[in-house]
Structure 1
């Protein structure tokens, strides 16, 4: 059985003039060992995430593993909904979260304490998380960012990049934007992903698909509905 995936919460790169909306992609992965989430999104996506699971007949308790690409608020809030699960995060990101970059204001207070209530598995280097699911370091946005590479049946090599590639701009310019590590480090990560992927799930953008000329395009839109109440 090869892994399958689908985006439960569709992220986007919209922001306010001085603030972040922080709507990140949350991806459900079905692997040999059970259901896995890649990131849990921010509070702004909390109800939508629960609805997306419910619409698929999945309860939070059915999620066995939560893979956290990094620990920023828009990717690692809502971890309390899956306190029963095994959390997987890089050892480097865990260390970084205790002493983030002075300009990094996106690390939620109490995230280490919240995660410590559950089983946390720390990663270093590269390896296999499940059959056909490979983890790898993707530093740049933060020093401890990680991504997943999936060998799928019908979509080729899919890289769920998190904020290693946040939006199409980084894939087009092949340069890291908003780095709390080093821009050059993030740029090398982007190039690695572009070289290897048939499809990319960015952190805050629709899925990117490789074309015959090697460039990536997106075919899906990212709706953003606002309701006035």
Structure 2
């Protein structure tokens, strides 16, 4: 059995005075069993503003949305779930507590608009439990705190255990500080979830950051160098003036 993790869309922690860009990590987990076809799992799907980029990245690795066997949604926030409808053939997996949470999110949680439950219902998600095996070498890890039913995946890779965390561990800084970016459900549980990831993982794939190694429960160095985004205005790379000024009114 061989399992690999490949980032399709990189997670980034970026915002502005008008809101977050919501660029979460979207990962492809591929497991090959002897004598069987590859089993492909997508972990989170990103938001609608990244649909073209997600399809492009699937094509880059020789896949289409129809080639994905399962979609695991780490939690119900808009930036992690909106593109789930691109994968009608896939089995969609969520923690049952998250489906309940999406109906009535925390009072400070604006990341779960009222339409979220309709989106998830249309995806016909299958409830999964802690430590449930998705496929050989890939199991579910319950990471509550950020939301009630936040989950990750533990992947048995050739270089150790890779843990995909969603926003339970949003960045390397969050793990190092033992502080969830936003504990909408329960602060104590969010800290315990960070500790669980630290005790489990050799490599962490966070929700809004690059993958990093773990030593003694703490970040121990990124696996890849940072990359830059290219912002465009009317089809050309944006200048500082473009980003600092409002668009001209239509004439």
Match of 1:71 among 72, 76, 82: 76
SS at match of 2:11: coil
Give CA-to-partner distance per residue, 1:120-159, whole Å, 9 cap, x none: 2101332211111010110111011000001111x21100
Larger radius of gyration: 2
CA shift, 1:2, in A, is 2.2
Structure 1 gaps of 5+ residues are none
Does residue 2 (structure 1) correspond to residue 6 (structure 2)? The answer is no
* Conserved? CA contact 2:47–2:80, under 8 Å: yes
Larger RCO, structures 1/2 (Cα 8 Å, 6+ apart): 1
Are the equivalent residues in 2 in contact too, given 1:177–1:183 (CA < 8 A)? Answer: no
Aligned partners of 1:134 and 1:150 also within 8 Å: yes
| Aligned residue in 2 for 1:205 | 209
Identify if the C-alpha distance between structure 1 residues 214 and 167 changes in structure 2 by more than 3 Å, giving closer, same or farther. closer
Query: Counterpart of 1:96?
Result: 101
Change (3 A) 1:38 1:14: same
Cα distance change, pair 103–65 in 1 and its aligned pair in 2 (3 A): same
CA deviations over 1:49-105 (Å, ceiling 9, x no partner): 010001111011111100000011110011111122110000000000000111111
Shift of 1:184: 1.5
SS of alignment partner, residue 199 of structure 2: helix
Query: 2:90 matched to which residue of 1?
Result: 85
> What's the counterpart of residue 191 of structure 2?
187
Aligned to 1:16: 16
Shift, 1:195, TM fit: 1.6
Compute the TM-score of the two structures, normalised by the length of structure 1: 0.93
CA distance in 1, matches of 2:6, 2:134: 18
Alignment of 1:81-160 (within 5 A): 81-153=86-158, 155-160=159-164
Distance 1:93 1:222 in 2: 32
Q: For the structure 1 residues 108 and 220, does the alpha-carbon distance in structure 2 shift closer, same or farther, using more than 3 Å as the test?
A: farther
- Unmatched tracts of structure 2, length 5 or more: 33-37, 235-251
